Amino acid sequence: MLAITKKDVDAVRYQMESHIFRYNAGGKCSTFEERYAQFIGGKHVALTASGTSALTAALAAVGIGPGDEVIVPAHTYMATAVAVLQVGAIPVIVDIDSSIALDPAALDDAVGPRTRAVMPVHMWGTVCNMRKIMKVARKHKLLVVEDCCQAIGGAFEGKMVGTFGPASAYSFNYWKNITCGEGGAVHCANHQVHAKAICYSDCCGFFWTGRKINFDPFVAGSARKSDMEGAMLHTQLDQLPGLIKKLRSAKQRLIKATEKTGLVAPVNSLDWECGTMMLYFLPSTESAAKFANDIGAGLAIDTGRHSYHEWDPILQKRGHIHPDMDPFRMQKNKGCRMTYAKDMLPRSLDILGRLVMVGLSHDMRAADIKALSQKINAAAKEIV
């Protein structure tokens, strides 16, 4: 969504007129999978139909299932928690901190005897503090499955997001840093996990690839992509590094120009995150509402879908259409923690009500940043 150009349109048109199905020699999906793995400095990538299907495949491929708790942050798209339920496990929702990411200390406190994995989510182009999260994960032997849907191209202190654990997921829907309409990808740190993620995403795929897989295929869903989308992912990835560079620079300049306000929210890896969103952390929900209004921005709590208190099917424990397939009712999940309430994490709700979000753009010029910072500095003077 950051930028769709004529190159994307031409690539899709060309592919439509040549070959759309993904299983053909040297196809666009296959070459993109290799290229993307290289781009993130990772190992193996499997394309899927969406970020949600990628998250689900990642969890399934690392062996998460009934009987397991998976920790997810209080602020993310509901799909993170949905993916946990899709593989039969139970999401445990944990506090964020004022960087808008999962709080490593809250993660440490939340681990229980059933907790098998944690899903750090890199929201709005920012990144989690992966040094601290990995330390906690090692201490408790948790699998780390990063949700990188909103942070494609970002890194934590030089290491690309999505390469910290055995599997991770990306989304290429319209709103993400690169898009092909709808799409997703799983990164897998080894061959076995990769083979399972492929099978999970296209359970009949082995018929098309000459049955060359090194394990017995299992029954799963279908989230296959087309080479039309693969073609667009290539042209989108061509321009991503340039866009991220401009976004990072815009954010860094805006921070400099407004840091005297004392309101800039903590940033976990300023030189490496994507720079798509500027966050200000206000002393109270009242001052945040006024500040947001004065500068024409929004509050993190008001996006309508990224705070846990809005995840109705989860809060009301409707985990599947069929009761016997519902993880909330499965015998194996009896010992898992699954008590949810809209007000159960007051600290996160308070933080989200105090975080003001200002979207940045790759085509901001110096004059735009100056005008924006003047508005922000003026609004900050009104805060007592």
Residues lying near ligand PLP in the complex (CB under 6 A): 50-52, 76-77, 79-80, 121, 147, 149-150, 171, 173, 184
**Residue with smaller CB distance to ligand PLP, 98 or 173:** 173
Please state, in angstroms and rounded to a whole number, the distance separating the CA atoms of residues 77 and 92: 15
Least distance (Å) between residue 368 CB and ligand PLP: 26
92 closest CA partner among 362, 321, 336: 336
**Residue with smaller CB distance to ligand PLP, 150 or 307:** 150
Q: Please give the residue whose beta carbon sits closest to ligand PLP in the complex.
A: 51
Least distance (Å) between residue 59 CB and ligand PLP: 12
Distances (CA, A) of 115 to 118, 144, 277, 344: 8, 11, 32, 19
Please state, in angstroms and rounded to a whole number, the distance separating the CA atoms of residues 112 and 121: 20
Q: Which two tokens stand for residue 178?
A: 């690169």
Least distance (Å) between residue 246 CB and ligand PLP: 21
Q: Which two tokens stand for residue 41?
A: 């400095």
Q: Which two tokens stand for residue 58?
A: 């990642």
Which residue is associated with the tokens 């928690």? 81
Identify the three-state secondary structure at position 169. Answer: strand
Least distance (Å) between residue 184 CB and ligand PLP: 5
CB-based contact 335:345 (threshold 8 Å): no
**Residue with smaller CB distance to ligand PLP, 229 or 282:** 229
Distances (CA, A) of 116 to 27, 68, 247, 365: 37, 6, 36, 46
Q: Which two tokens stand for residue 308?
A: 């846990």
Least distance (Å) between residue 218 CB and ligand PLP: 22
**Residue with smaller CB distance to ligand PLP, 94 or 379:** 94
**Residue with smaller CB distance to ligand PLP, 222 or 374:** 222
**Residue with smaller CB distance to ligand PLP, 86 or 333:** 86
Residues 6+ apart with CB under 8 A from 207: none
21 closest CA partner among 290, 161, 224: 224
CB-based contact 156:163 (threshold 8 Å): no
**Residue with smaller CB distance to ligand PLP, 176 or 248:** 176
Q: Which two tokens stand for residue 282?
A: 């206000």
Least distance (Å) between residue 173 CB and ligand PLP: 4
Least distance (Å) between residue 185 CB and ligand PLP: 10
